[in-house]
Amino acid sequence: MSQLQIYKASAGSGKTFRLAIEYLKIALSDEWNYKNILAVTFTNKATTEMKERVIEELYKLSRNEKTAYLDVLKQEMSLAEPELVLRAQNALKHLLHDYSRFSISTIDSFFQRVIKAFNRELGINTAYQVDLEDDRILDEAVDQLLLSIDDDPDLLSWLKQFAEDKIREGGGWSLKGDILSLGRQIYNETFRQLSPVLNEKLSDKKFIRQYRKDLRRIIVNFEETLKQIGEQGLEIMRQGGVTVDDFKYKKAGAASAFDKLVNNAFAPSSRVLAVVEDVAAFHDKKASAHIVNIAHQLQPLLAQAVNFHTENIASYNTAKMIVDQLYTLGILVDLQQVVRELTREKGVILISESGNLLKQIIDDSDTPFIYEKTGVYYKHFMIDEFQDTSGLQWGNFRPLVGNSLAEDNLGMLVGDVKQAIYRWRNGDWNLLASEVMQAFPANGAEEKQLTQNWRSSGTVIRFNNRVFQVVPQLMQTHFSGQIQEAGLNDELFGDAILRIYNEGLQEIGQQSLKDAGYIRMRFLEKKKRGEEPTNEELVLDELIESIQAAQDQGVTARDMAILVRTKAEAKVIADRLLTEKASGDGHYNFNVLSGESLYVKNAASVAFLVSMLRLLKDPDDQLSMPFANYQYYATIAPVLNRLNKQVDWAVEQQDDAQLFMDFAPRYEPELNERFEDYRNQDNKLYEFLTGSYFNHQLAAQNLQEIIFSLSNRFCLFDFADELAYLQAFIDHVSNYMKNRSADLAGFLAWWDEAGQRKTIAVSEALDAIRIQTIHKAKGLEYACVFIPFCDWSLGISGQHAPMLWCRPLVEPFNQLELVPVKFGKSMGLSHFFREYFSEIRNNYIDNLNMLYVAFTRAKMALYTWSEYGKTLATTGDLLKMCVNMEEGVPFNGREDICSPLTEHFDEEKQLLELGALTASARKEKNENQSLSLRRFQFKDFSTYLRLRKNHENFFEAGDSTEQKINRGRLVHDVLSRIETADQLEKACEELVFKGMMTDAEAREMHAELQDLLADPEVTSWFDGSYRILNEHNIITGKGVKRPDRIMLSPDEVIVVDYKSGEFESMKYVKQVSDYMDALQQCGYPNVKGFIWYTKMNKRVVVK
């Protein structure tokens, strides 16, 4: 048996290098080993990087090139270099020829592979599809749920309570939107793992009503008891002729507690507790004997209230929190059932449901059987980013890893708790922090630290080492203070904050950079509202100056990143940089690449197209018409004028002989006219959008054709700056049409819900400053990192308070094994106090980790700006405390790799600086191998593609022109089916069988065509003396020709084209002449051509 290998890899410590080394060691031990290795990462990008690294290193090793891997592999595998090269050659050859067994994948890909193998056991349709958009199914489920309320009184009651709560909280009136937000809880792993017993209870409306009744009894008893005490106190005061103002502190004193008791607003204050301890605290020293007497009567009531409150507040708060959210459980259970029915009906599996389905397989099956069903056998497991793994995912992997360890194979986990910032995605850092060490007691586990930082310069490493020595201490002390203030034992929650960062010190990997690097921390005291200039303005000004200084030292724009917490911050910064770019002289590069700038919806051309699609869906849309008008004249028309392009307003073909010229002055509306006066008679756009072509002909086309037609007509394909956005929009339309119904209304609904978040892909080599959220920046690195608003809140705001799933342990609450509770202060005074303080601690860890991830992205320079106040409420306050109080935290003997902070802090300037920003070695520009899309190629097939309609007048009576044409087509169809005259009857019968004509019509046509074929001039054409080719293609250099009939003999070739009309035309002659030329080019010298007008039985010879 082997031990579980746990690698704790801090930022920049060569995690991917170590993963690749371990993979190569196994792959090179045996040339077929690659089939038995499963390496799991969490993103497609990380998967690609890992695969490329393995292939690249195998290739270099096979060519005996010197790489950083070579020496490590020689040492750890105890192999000579020639042997290593030979093994690399064999492993690379086998791996490339059997690439599908190269198993480095995302965790979801692996889960899907197993589920696919067990679809019959799981009762899943074999043709199921994986749906990546959970919210789309959820949206449909909410619609169905709302439609079912008439048949479900309990659901109606729950929804009413839900709506009332939202109104009390000051929320919006969108009930569906609120339910959607709540409904995402069904994807919470804790909720998913409800026991069947609990599910059964929740489905039992009678049980829910009784449970609610029991809890209401606790609530009412608590409130009524305190109310009675309050009324007794007020009655004593009334009978004594005194008021609150006659006692100490008046309305702010203990006497006011009786009013609060009556109004259910009582909480024992320090003044109330003082009165309970000593009645003298109730009144002033000079109080009359009457007041003192009343005080002595009131004091026992206050003591009774305090005692009752203390003994029962936990049960009261618990009951109230459960009752307040009990409807949530009812809604979620019903919603979960609707989602399951929808997915089963549609034959899809939600990507978020994969883990739960896999759990059913893993729990009920032996590991060998799983491998047998999937067709692969994995002996070695490597899991990357383990700190972001959820409990359910680890539960699914654990038996497989355990089996691997039992067979003396590799089980390897790599991660860093300090970089766990995805708890909101069910990530559980506790797994890596402590639980996996005890996961396999029979095997044991070996923990290894990757301590060297190969990413950052020495100054940055030393700074981060010291900051994350001090900050966790401050945070742990603050949290412990909150625990003690609540009257709880600090040991209940341990010192997780300190433990996570205890082993966080990093050694300097690149000795050549040990003295390089620059740190700049700027602090700004919080200003009063309205005080100018604002801190935000000061920060943005200094940010511009810092970017300019860095570029003066040779740092390119693409080596800079500005990290933010929210999209709102990103927009403020992007707007400022773009303003600077517009007003600058071009000396500095302020090009910006941000998530906001990459949204497809932000392109003017896309917004214009979407507004026209809305008008096609609803021509009376009073919002889309002025918006389309504004969009055209504000953004589209100016670009067209600059490009010297004109919109093709004509929707019908003009007479060739007519010269059309428009001498009217150009219509250029003012801003208000674009919205208000868009019906102006000179407004060609309004005329176009209300015309017959737009609302009838264009509306009849499919979605993609509409977009192509409009883009072509308005010259949008010539907008070079927006071509990438337009291309992406068209791609999204195409994907939508491929996976869903292609109706316009459905697409617009999808666009409003999901399409708004779509972005374009850009080249990594684009020379622009990156603006990213910290979450998006994880795993990346930049020479210079700027954090302009490094002062986000450390607390949990009421607006974003999470829903916690708690397990009641006390009667009668424990009748339900799991209940949802909205995070709030009252949780701290309930039976859920452990969950409350655990959430506070976890939130502090989340924020510390966010700070750690942001600070460790920097390679050479780190700039931060933080606003601070008088209390510890934000990361700005935390960093300021860190600088001020750093000297009180010991270095633990590691002064060599930790920079002192306080001595480098300038109190007057509120600035900390370490090191110096030195000139970067200017890199030669790599040759740009990216492709630039300058023109979108589009061909309107409607100009030459027509549907052949054989019997569109089948059900119409009379002898219309269309029917005559249709009859001609039928004659043509019969002749195309025969080679000799004796096949005529069978050809007519085939058309009767296909429903293209009746028996009577077939007999009539048979007789008519017999007469035609009996003509002496054509008898030889149908007597079998020629080899016949009916409707065969002739491929030429100018396209494909398709004559109706080609007859070949050794002496000649005859080509015939049938025409059913009565009028001769020179274009028919030209057509047959082209056929003859094509046949002559094929090597047939003697070619004759005929046009056969079948209605008149006339043949025209073509020369």
pLDDT single digits (tens) 538-548:
999 999 999 99
Where is the binding site for ATP, in residues? 9-16
CB 67 within 8 A of CB 57: yes
> In the prediction, which pLDDT does 677 show?
61
- CATH number at 1088 reads 3.90.320.10
- State the pLDDT confidence band at 54, using cuts at 50, 70 and 90: very high
The verdict on 426 and 478 lying in the same domain is no
Instruction: Give the integer Cα–Cα distance in Å for 749 and 37.
Output: 44
CA distance to 19, 125, 356, 371, 730, per residue, from 411 (Å): 12, 34, 23, 17, 45
The verdict on 486 and 440 lying in the same domain is no
Residues contacting residue 296 through CB under 8 Å, at least 6 positions apart? 279
- CATH number at 646 reads 1.10.486
| 3-state SS, one letter per residue, for 265-293 | CCCCCHHHHHHHHCHHHHCCCCCCHHHHH
Q: Would 233 be classed as within a structural domain?
A: no
Q: Would 20 be classed as within a structural domain?
A: yes
Q: Would 328 be classed as within a structural domain?
A: no
- State the pLDDT confidence band at 922, using cuts at 50, 70 and 90: very low
Domain membership of residue 565 as a residue range: 458-594+767-915
The verdict on 541 and 410 lying in the same domain is no
Count: domains in the chain:
5
Last residue of a domain, one of 450, 475, 503: 450
Last residue of a domain, one of 757, 788, 813: 757
- Within 13 Å of residue 1022, how many CA atoms lie on the same side as its CB? 21
CB 990 within 8 A of CB 977: yes
> In the prediction, which pLDDT does 948 show?
54
> In the prediction, which pLDDT does 760 show?
81
The verdict on 739 and 776 lying in the same domain is no
Instruction: Give the integer Cα–Cα distance in Å for 349 and 342.
Output: 10
Instruction: Give the integer Cα–Cα distance in Å for 795 and 846.
Output: 11
Q: Would 400 be classed as within a structural domain?
A: yes
State the burial class of residue 681 (Cβ atoms within 10 Å of its Cβ: 0-12, 13-18, 19+): exposed
- Within 13 Å of residue 207, how many CA atoms lie on the same side as its CB? 14
Instruction: Give the integer Cα–Cα distance in Å for 756 and 16.
Output: 34
Neighbours of 521 (CB within 10 A): 25
The verdict on 619 and 747 lying in the same domain is yes
pTM of the model: 0.79
> In the prediction, which pLDDT does 375 show?
62
Nearest to 50 by CA among 27, 74, 17: 17
Percent pLDDT > 90 in the chain is 46
- State the pLDDT confidence band at 658, using cuts at 50, 70 and 90: very low
Neighbours of 536 (CB within 10 A): 17
Q: Would 252 be classed as within a structural domain?
A: no
Inform me whether the pLDDT recorded for 961 exceeds 60. Answer: no
Identify which has the larger pLDDT, 957 or 351: 351
The verdict on 888 and 1034 lying in the same domain is no
Taking each helix axis from N to C end, the angle separating 107-117 and 354-364, rounded to the nearest 10 degrees, works out to 60
The verdict on 669 and 752 lying in the same domain is yes
- CATH number at 117 reads 3.40.50.300
> In the prediction, which pLDDT does 365 show?
59
Beginning with the edge strand found earlier in the chain, give each strand of the sheet holding 411-415 in spatial order: 104-106, 37-41, 380-383, 411-415, 4-9, 445-450
Last residue of a domain, one of 962, 984, 1015: 1015
> In the prediction, which pLDDT does 128 show?
63
The verdict on 410 and 434 lying in the same domain is yes
Inform me whether the pLDDT recorded for 610 exceeds 50. Answer: yes
Lowest-confidence pick of 141-145, 448-452, 593-597, 767-771: 593-597
DSSP symbols for 915-973: E--PPPPPPPPPP--PPP--------GGGT-----S-TTTT--S--HHHHHHHHHHHHH
Lowest-confidence pick of 365-369, 388-392, 443-447, 824-828: 365-369
State the chain's maximal CA–CA distance in angstroms: 143
pLDDT single digits (tens) 340-353:
888 878 777 777 77
pLDDT single digits (tens) 1032-1069:
888 887 778 889 999 999 999 999 999 887 778 888 89
Q: Would 332 be classed as within a structural domain?
A: no
Inform me whether the pLDDT recorded for 987 exceeds 70. Answer: yes
Average of per-residue pLDDT values in the chain? 85
CA distance to 175, 647, 652, 653, 713, per residue, from 658 (Å): 60, 20, 13, 11, 22
Which residue type sits at 692? S
- State the pLDDT confidence band at 921, using cuts at 50, 70 and 90: very low
pLDDT single digits (tens) 318-333:
999 998 888 777 778 8
What are residue 130's DSSP bridge partners?
349
Instruction: Give the integer Cα–Cα distance in Å for 691 and 615.
Output: 12
Q: Would 115 be classed as within a structural domain?
A: yes
Taking each helix axis from N to C end, the angle separating 984-993 and 999-1013, rounded to the nearest 10 degrees, works out to 150
Element at 773 (helix H, strand E): strand 769-773
- State the pLDDT confidence band at 662, using cuts at 50, 70 and 90: very low
Instruction: Give the integer Cα–Cα distance in Å for 400 and 113.
Output: 15
Inform me whether the pLDDT recorded for 650 exceeds 90. Answer: no
DSSP symbols for 446-492: EEEEE-EESSS-HHHHHHHHHHHHHHHHHHHHHHHHHHHHTT--GGG
Lowest-confidence pick of 345-354, 700-709, 746-755, 1091-1100: 345-354
The verdict on 964 and 1103 lying in the same domain is no
> In the prediction, which pLDDT does 841 show?
94
From first CA to last CA, the distance across the chain in angstroms is 91
The verdict on 534 and 586 lying in the same domain is yes
The verdict on 790 and 899 lying in the same domain is yes
State the burial class of residue 770 (Cβ atoms within 10 Å of its Cβ: 0-12, 13-18, 19+): buried
Identify which has the larger pLDDT, 117 or 833: 833
Where is the binding site, in residues? 9-16
Q: Would 844 be classed as within a structural domain?
A: yes
The verdict on 753 and 608 lying in the same domain is yes
